[in-house]
Structure 1
Amino acid sequence: MAIRYELKGHLALIDANIPYAGLSPIVEVLTSAEFEAMKTIPEEAKEALREIQHAESSFIEVFSNFTLGSFAVPAKCDTKLASTCLIPSDPDLFAFYMDRESLVFVDDGTFAADILAELGKSGIMRRMTTAHCLYMFFKNLMVDDLVWLGKLEDSMESMEEEMLANQSKSTTTVIMGYRRLSMRFLTYYQQLASMASILADNENKILPKEEADAFDHASAMADRLVDRAETVNEYSGQLRELYQTRIDLRQNAIMQILTVVTVLFAPLTLITGWFGMNLEVIPGLQWAPMWALLLALFVISTIALLAVFQRKSFLQKIVK
């Protein structure tokens, strides 16, 4: 269902079913079918929007009399529940069309409508123009993301502390989930920065200079988020390396245990192998006290080897 706002003093919701006859700029949210049915939209714009609307990337294209683009906003998980960050979720996909008189969001969901409703309730728009509305829309997309990225990093720090204390039950799946999530948002912020930079260039001159300059600020906001997301992504890589190191240390400890056990039983293996041969000429084979002597040799060799291991701190490492 179409939603329409009039930019007249504030972002005012008006009836979208009545043909608009006012002079103020308007902002609309339409479905794909409703956008296709609009007669005031150039066919060139409709064709271009069909190609980019469902692409899972944020993109902008500048034409002589209008600008259009698409958004692919990744979903934010609950950073307190690592399991929610592992479930792959589709991004919110929608597009926009903007000329000097109108700004149209093409969204088959509710994402764009929800953001515009927030802007309408907040009353923070200083200028009633389509370009300023799009600028505020950009800012709203990024407004709480620095805080969320910080919480995401805190969640990974908690996992790191648990791993160092040998209390973590994390798996490669959990760690790679964080890595994929941080990479997804890094790409998203890079695309937002590029979109805002293109709008600031104002190649088709449909934006007033003051509005075009505002998108430089939006580009700077996105660049800060890019830097933060890169830090989080690098940290996720360090977390994976730490996890791999813990696995390697655990495997080394197991191999050390097997080595110690093998060495301890080596004398007994040698003795049993020697006297287990099917020969009658082996010295001492018929001597009755031989078994006691062999047992004593085994005990002495075992104690000697344990003393050597203790001196080399092998046993302490195994216990740890």
Structure 2
Amino acid sequence: MKYEWKNQDEYKIQSDQSSQEKCLIEILTIEEFRQQYPDIFRRTFVSNSFNHIRFCKADWLKKAVTGTFAIPPKEDPSQTKICFGYCLMEDKIIFIDDSNYVKSILDEMQSYQLVDISSASLCLFEFMEYLLKDDMIFLQKYEERLTQLEEKLLKGESDDFDFQILSSRKDLSALSAYYEQLSDMGETLQQSAAERREERDRLLFGLYADKAGRLYSTVQMLKEYSMQLREMHQAQVDMRQNEIMKFLTIVTTIFMPLSLIAGWYGMNFINMPELSFPYGYIIICLICLLIIVIEIWIFRIKKWFK
């Protein structure tokens, strides 16, 4: 079916009417595409469903550029991706989609007055550009989320930190792969445009590849930021464990000589003179107290209590 491009916020599917100033846009199901373009279908898809699609790609064929999109949802990038395909020909662009996602994107694009769909390659460029229109703002908000997580970490409010940082790293890994794949797609489409000697298309897809590359670099920076937060959290855990071990070491050190004295006089030999001495118990207690005072004084000099 052909998609009619209008200048208002609505679309209409038509069968045989086209415009001379607009490229031909078709939206087919994967089964319709398989029946109409069997040769291209075999080069792009391995089954009659989108379940096998895991990444974005562009395959440069003899008379067309085909590929797939696997878009992670902004709400939860690590969840199931939105998948569909496309086929760029000289006179038209075909989207292969079993859902209404492509239609909804094209409908939203119609509200933008400066969208150029005078050629199939420009239509694909505008479509790909629209997919990234708010991504930098999205990544900035994600950075703010990590900053808030860092503030909670510094305040000691990190009960579920491990879960949050793991979720963030999964999301960033999915976004990193997505933008890297889009950058590769842009380079492939740029090479295709250069082969066709379409200088404007070559320049536009080159700019798109650079934009996707910048988004990829931003995600890599956020991944490093999340790694630093994880290391900071681990350092805090290690410090708490060190404090506990330090406390146990001090207690053990204080009572070690006392344990020696208790074990020594617990032997109860008959000829031990201290056993029959009337003030032996008091003297031993004073000796233990003196040992404790001396140990505490030494610990304070060594600054073990800080």
TM-score, with structure 2 as normaliser: 0.89
1:51 partner SS:
coil
Shift of residue 301, structure 1, vs aligned partner: 1.6
Identity percentage of aligned residues: 26
Correspondence for 1:27: 25
Q: Distance in 2 between matches of 1:11 and 1:206?
A: 34
Counterparts of residues 1-320 of structure 1 (less than 5 Å): 4-7=2-5, 13-16=11-14, 19-22=15-18, 24=20, 25-37=23-35, 39=36, 41=37, 43-51=38-46, 53=50, 54-77=52-75, 88-202=78-192, 205=195, 208-316=198-306
Would the aligned equivalents of 2:58 and 2:185 in 1 still touch at CA under 8 Å? yes
Gap regions ≥5 residues in structure 2: none
Q: Distance in 1 between matches of 2:166 and 2:191?
A: 38
1:315 partner SS:
coil
Q: 1:135 to 1:164 in 2, by over 3 A?
A: same
Q: Distance in 2 between matches of 1:153 and 1:307?
A: 49
Q: Distance in 2 between matches of 1:309 and 1:260?
A: 8
Q: Give the AA of the match of 1:30.
A: L
Q: Distance in 2 between matches of 1:195 and 1:11?
A: 29
Q: Give the AA of the match of 2:156.
A: N
Q: Distance in 2 between matches of 1:22 and 1:229?
A: 41
Q: Give the AA of the match of 2:139.
A: L
Shift of residue 8, structure 1, vs aligned partner: 7.5
1:285 partner SS:
helix
2:70 partner SS:
strand
Gap regions ≥5 residues in structure 1: 78-83
2:59 partner SS:
strand
Q: Give the AA of the match of 1:51.
A: V
Shift of residue 100, structure 1, vs aligned partner: 1.7
Q: Distance in 2 between matches of 1:211 and 1:50?
A: 26
Shift of residue 58, structure 1, vs aligned partner: 0.8
Shift of residue 9, structure 1, vs aligned partner: 7.5
Q: Distance in 2 between matches of 1:161 and 1:239?
A: 10
- 123-132 vs 245-254, which moves further: 123-132
1:4-44 superposed Cα distances (whole Å, 9 cap, x missing partner):
4235788983334xx3243643213332223234x3x3x21
Shift of residue 97, structure 1, vs aligned partner: 1.0
- 207-216 vs 64-73, which moves further: 207-216
Two-structure CA RMSD over aligned residues (Å): 2.4
Shift of residue 229, structure 1, vs aligned partner: 1.1
Q: Distance in 1 between matches of 2:179 and 2:13?
A: 35
Shift of residue 222, structure 1, vs aligned partner: 0.7
1:122 partner SS:
coil
1:70-89 superposed Cα distances (whole Å, 9 cap, x missing partner):
11111223xxxxxx67xx41
2:182 partner SS:
helix
1:284 partner SS:
helix
Shift of residue 145, structure 1, vs aligned partner: 1.1
Q: 1:310 to 1:48 in 2, by over 3 A?
A: same
Would the aligned equivalents of 1:200 and 1:213 in 2 still touch at CA under 8 Å? yes
Runs of 4+ in 1 over 4 A off after TM superposition: 7-12, 203-207
TM-score, with structure 1 as normaliser: 0.85
